[in-house]
A and B are shown apart, each in its own frame.
Chain A
């Protein structure tokens, strides 16, 4: 999966968890916490994206991420 495809996958997961968020707010620079996601919401996004990509990483592999772009980078590192 290309990095751009992974970004689009993450956007879909964010929209599923926070359906009222305008799509334009979901940028590479945005932080999920600042967009109103709780800690569990953020894990929902990560796990939903992993499943959509076909990855089964331990969540420690996604530790220390602060922006959507960093999540996309981290998923891209492991993407088949």
Chain B
């Protein structure tokens, strides 16, 4: 017999970003509104030429970070790459923020696939040098289960374990699938996580070749006429999702409700952006939440800073809002683009902005490409109440997604 759908809420947030060690730091970072993007030194981020705008986790020491974790997590993460250890630490931080310790019935939902390309390249190099010296860990670490399994072992999570990929929209899609599973009663809650981007020089070169990355000496400025492409950001986030009933039963702090989500495809492979799918995804998410676009109090745009992508998203927002002056900001202007985990960072940013009643600035926005939308400038909005927010994310492969969040303070 059906027992109705559970409502799904966010009860824990973990964030790791340049200059940001946890969710409390992230609040301050968003309020400050100063971009973490800066020109990379040569070799600072393998695959990015000197002068490329990017945001790197400075001073992140993989072995020291692993050594600072509890014993069970240290064992689970042994031998882990920089990105894996960062992702593990962030997932554990989200559980701690939620006040959970070893929730055995919880699941792990990893956002994205191909999350360890640097490690893959070094294994391939070893194979070319001498096939017998191929790292044997590659046999299991290459699969999409690995990061989730490491977090599950570290925290003792025995519920469902899955990966949900949608390129740069993976965070939103993973939250959508996780929320649906919780709503159906398949699990009481889970951690949704992604590591920081771990693309190798191979992928960065290919992204440069297609003109997606902001070239050395040029700017990534989402929604600004001068933007020249996206800028990588080495950042990640994790969210604890939980049924409202489970959260209430344990007296958890309810940060936000996952009120709606939408997914649409262009039915076209490749990288070209598109307004129609973006609009369809946003409308689906609003319909599921049972609100209109005019009821939104803020929109966190995908806004990577590629001229074509920003322009298509502006067209979708113009059609969605029909003149309504809902403020729109772009977290990637501050953090850079964290690829598979970007949408998780943006959901975390939206929740913190709703809780603290402000809107962060869109760094570098001097010459907006649209005058008829309320694009939030670099200074942000110091006082802004939000009951409802929408966060958009798009991915290669013609994917568009949106998640509608309801302020946790609104949940009676």
B78 within 8 A of A: yes
Stretch from A2-10, A25-33, A44-52 at the B interface: A44-52
Interface centre among A40, A43, A57 (most CB of B within 10 A): A40
Contacts of B137 in A (CB 8 A): 40, 44
Q: Within the complex, what minimum Cβ distance (angstroms) separates A39 from chain B?
A: 9
B136 within 8 A of A: yes
Contacts of B78 in A (CB 8 A): 17-19
Contacts of B74 in A (CB 8 A): 20
Asked if residues B133 and A44 are in contact (CB atoms below 8 Å), the reply is no
- The chain A residue sitting closest to B136, CB to CB, is A43
Interface centre among A43, A47, A50, A57 (most CB of B within 10 A): A47
Given contacts A20-B74, A40-B140, whether A47 and B79 have CB atoms under 8 Å apart is no
Asked if residues B130 and A51 are in contact (CB atoms below 8 Å), the reply is yes
A56 within 8 A of B: yes
A58 within 8 A of B: yes
Contacts of A59 in B (CB 8 A): 132
Q: Within the complex, what minimum Cβ distance (angstroms) separates A34 from chain B?
A: 16
- The chain B residue sitting closest to A46, CB to CB, is B136
- The answer, among A17, A20, A44, A50, for a CB contact under 8 Å with B132, is A50
Contacts of B140 in A (CB 8 A): 40
Asked if residues A57 and B132 are in contact (CB atoms below 8 Å), the reply is yes
Q: How many interface residues does chain A have, given as a range?
A: 10 to 19
In the complex the two chains form, what is the Cα distance from A51 to B79 in whole Å? 17
- The chain A residue sitting closest to B63, CB to CB, is A19
Q: Within the complex, what minimum Cβ distance (angstroms) separates B21 from chain A?
A: 23
- The chain A residue sitting closest to B132, CB to CB, is A56
Q: Within the complex, what minimum Cβ distance (angstroms) separates A3 from chain B?
A: 22
Asked if residues A40 and B136 are in contact (CB atoms below 8 Å), the reply is yes
Q: Within the complex, what minimum Cβ distance (angstroms) separates B74 from chain A?
A: 7
In the complex the two chains form, what is the Cα distance from A43 to B137 in whole Å? 9
B135 within 8 A of A: yes
B139 within 8 A of A: yes
- The answer, among A18, A47, A56, A57, for a CB contact under 8 Å with B135, is A47
Which parts of B120-165 form the interface with A (CB within 8 Å)?
Answer: 130-137, 139-140
Contacts of B133 in A (CB 8 A): 47, 50-51, 56
Which parts of B61-113 form the interface with A (CB within 8 Å)?
Answer: 63, 71, 74-75, 78-79
Contacts of B134 in A (CB 8 A): 47
In the complex the two chains form, what is the Cα distance from A57 to B136 in whole Å? 14
Contacts of B131 in A (CB 8 A): 56
- The chain B residue sitting closest to A20, CB to CB, is B74
Interface centre among B74, B130, B136, B139 (most CB of A within 10 A): B136
Contacts of B136 in A (CB 8 A): 40, 43-44, 47
Asked if residues B139 and A40 are in contact (CB atoms below 8 Å), the reply is yes
Contacts of A43 in B (CB 8 A): 136
In the complex the two chains form, what is the Cα distance from A19 to B132 in whole Å? 24
Interface centre among B74, B131, B132, B139 (most CB of A within 10 A): B132
Contacts of A18 in B (CB 8 A): 78
Q: Within the complex, what minimum Cβ distance (angstroms) separates B209 from chain A?
A: 34
In the complex the two chains form, what is the Cα distance from A44 to B131 in whole Å? 14
In the complex the two chains form, what is the Cα distance from A59 to B139 in whole Å? 15
Contacts of B79 in A (CB 8 A): 17, 44
Q: Within the complex, what minimum Cβ distance (angstroms) separates A53 from chain B?
A: 11
In the complex the two chains form, what is the Cα distance from A29 to B244 in whole Å? 55
Asked if residues A58 and B132 are in contact (CB atoms below 8 Å), the reply is yes
Contacts of A40 in B (CB 8 A): 136-137, 139-140
In the complex the two chains form, what is the Cα distance from A17 to B132 in whole Å? 18
**Chain A 53-76 per-residue mask, 1 if CB under 8 angstroms from chain B, else 0:** 000111100000000000000000
In the complex the two chains form, what is the Cα distance from A20 to B140 in whole Å? 22
- The chain B residue sitting closest to A16, CB to CB, is B79
Q: Within the complex, what minimum Cβ distance (angstroms) separates A61 from chain B?
A: 10
Please, could you name 7 A-B residue pairs with CB atoms under 8 Å apart, sorted by A? A17-B79, A19-B78, A40-B136, A43-B136, A44-B79, A56-B130, A56-B132
A-contacting residues of B (Cβ < 8 Å)?
63, 71, 74-75, 78-79, 130-137, 139-140
List 9 extra interface pairs beyond A19-B78, A51-B130, A59-B132, CB under 8 A. Answer: A17-B79, A18-B78, A20-B74, A43-B136, A44-B137, A47-B133, A50-B133, A56-B130, A56-B131
Closest A-B pairs by Cβ, 3 of them:
A56-B132, A43-B136, A51-B133
B-contacting residues of A (Cβ < 8 Å)?
17-20, 40, 43-44, 47, 50-51, 56-59
